[in-house]
Structure 1
Amino acid sequence: MGAEHYPPPWFSVAPMMEWTNNHYRTLARLISKKAWLYTEMLAAETIVYQTGNLDRFLAYGPEQHPIVLQIGGNNLENLAKATQLATPYGYDEINFNCGCPSPRVVGHGCFGVCLMLDPKFVAEAMCVIAANTNVPVSVKCRIGLDGHDSYNELCDFIYKVSSQSPTRHFIIHSRKALLNGISPADNRKIPPLKYEYYYALLRDFPDLQFTINGGINSIDEVNAARMEGAHGVMLGRAAYSNPWRILGLVDSSVYGAPLHSITRRQVLEQYQVYGDSVVRMYGNKPNIRDVVKPLLGLFHGEPRNVVWKRKVDAALLHCTTIKSLLEETLGEIPERVLDAPITEVPSGSTDMFIKYYVL
Structure 2
Amino acid sequence: MVKFSGYSLISSFTPFHSVILKKQRRFSALDLYSNNSTKSRRTLSVFANKHQLRNIKTHTEMGVEQYRPPLFSVAPMMDWTDNHYRTVARIISKHAWLYTEMLAAETIVHQQGDLDRFLAFSPEQHPIVLQIGGNNLDNIAKATRLANSYGYDEINLNCGCPSPRVAGHGCFGVRLMLDPKFVGEAMSVIAANTDVPVSVKCRIGLDDHDSYNELCDFIYKVSSLSPTKHFIIHSRKALLNGISPADNRRIPPLKYEYYYALLRDFPDLRFTINGGINCVDEVNAALREGAHGVMVGRAAYNNLWNTLAHVDTAIYGAPSSGLTRRQVLEQYQVYGDAVLGTYGNGRPNIRDLIKVH
Q: TM-score, normalised by structure 1?
A: 0.81
Select the residue among 212, 222, 237 that pairs with 1:161: 222
Whole-Å Cα distance in 1 between the matches of residues 214 and 341 of structure 2? 51
- The answer for the alignment partner of 2:236 in structure 1 is 175
SS of 2:314 mapped into structure 1 = helix
Whole-Å Cα distance in 1 between the matches of residues 138 and 326 of structure 2? 47
Compare relative contact order (CA 8 Å, sep 6+) and give the higher one, 1 or 2.
2
Write out per-residue CA displacement over residues 247-306 of structure 1, whole angstroms, 9 at most, x where no aligned residue.
Answer: 000000000011231001101111001001111534511221001111xx3xxxxxxxxx
Give the number of aligned pairs.
Answer: 295
- The answer for the alignment partner of 2:175 in structure 1 is 114
Select the residue among 105, 108, 116 that pairs with 2:166: 105
Contact 1:12 1:35 (C-alpha < 8 Å) held by counterparts: yes
SS of 1:40 mapped into structure 2 = strand
- The answer for the alignment partner of 2:352 in structure 1 is 290
1:136 aligns with 2:169: no
- The answer for the alignment partner of 1:12 in structure 2 is 73
Whole-Å Cα distance in 1 between the matches of residues 322 and 243 of structure 2? 43
Q: TM-score, normalised by structure 2?
A: 0.82
- The answer for the alignment partner of 2:127 in structure 1 is 66
1:49 aligns with 2:107: no
For structure 2, list consecutive stretches of 5 or more residues without a partner in the other structure. 1-59
Whole-Å Cα distance in 1 between the matches of residues 254 and 311 of structure 2? 24
RMSD: 0.8
Write out per-residue CA displacement over residues 103-143 of structure 1, whole angstroms, 9 at most, x where no aligned residue.
Answer: 01012230000000000000000000000000000000000
Select the residue among 309, 323, 330 that pairs with 1:248: 309
Contact 1:214 1:235 (C-alpha < 8 Å) held by counterparts: yes
Question: Which stretches of structure 1, 4 residues or more, deviate above 3 A after TM superposition?
Answer: 280-283
Whole-Å Cα distance in 2 between the matches of residues 198 and 110 of structure 1? 25
SS of 1:226 mapped into structure 2 = helix
For structure 1, list consecutive stretches of 5 or more residues without a partner in the other structure. 298-359
Whole-Å Cα distance in 2 between the matches of residues 178 and 10 of structure 1? 29
Whole-Å Cα distance in 1 between the matches of residues 311 and 260 of structure 2? 23
Contact 2:166 2:172 (C-alpha < 8 Å) held by counterparts: yes
How far off its partner does 1:219 sit?
A: 0.3
Whole-Å Cα distance in 1 between the matches of residues 75 and 242 of structure 2? 23
The percent of aligned pairs where both chains have the same amino acid is: 80
Contact 1:248 1:260 (C-alpha < 8 Å) held by counterparts: no
- The answer for the alignment partner of 2:245 in structure 1 is 184
Select the residue among 204, 222, 242 that pairs with 2:265: 204
Contact 1:138 1:170 (C-alpha < 8 Å) held by counterparts: yes
Whichever residue aligns with residue 325 of structure 2, its letter is: R
SS of 1:211 mapped into structure 2 = strand
More helix per residue: 1 or 2? 1
SS of 2:340 mapped into structure 1 = helix
Write out per-residue CA displacement over residues 32-86 of structure 1, whole angstroms, 9 at most, x where no aligned residue.
Answer: 0000000000000000000000000000000000000000000000000000000
Deviates more, 1:90-99 or 1:100-109: 100-109
Select the residue among 106, 127, 131 that pairs with 2:188: 127
Contact 1:275 1:291 (C-alpha < 8 Å) held by counterparts: yes
- The answer for the alignment partner of 2:157 in structure 1 is 96
Select the residue among 297, 316, 325 that pairs with 1:264: 325
SS of 1:156 mapped into structure 2 = helix
Contact 1:13 1:37 (C-alpha < 8 Å) held by counterparts: yes
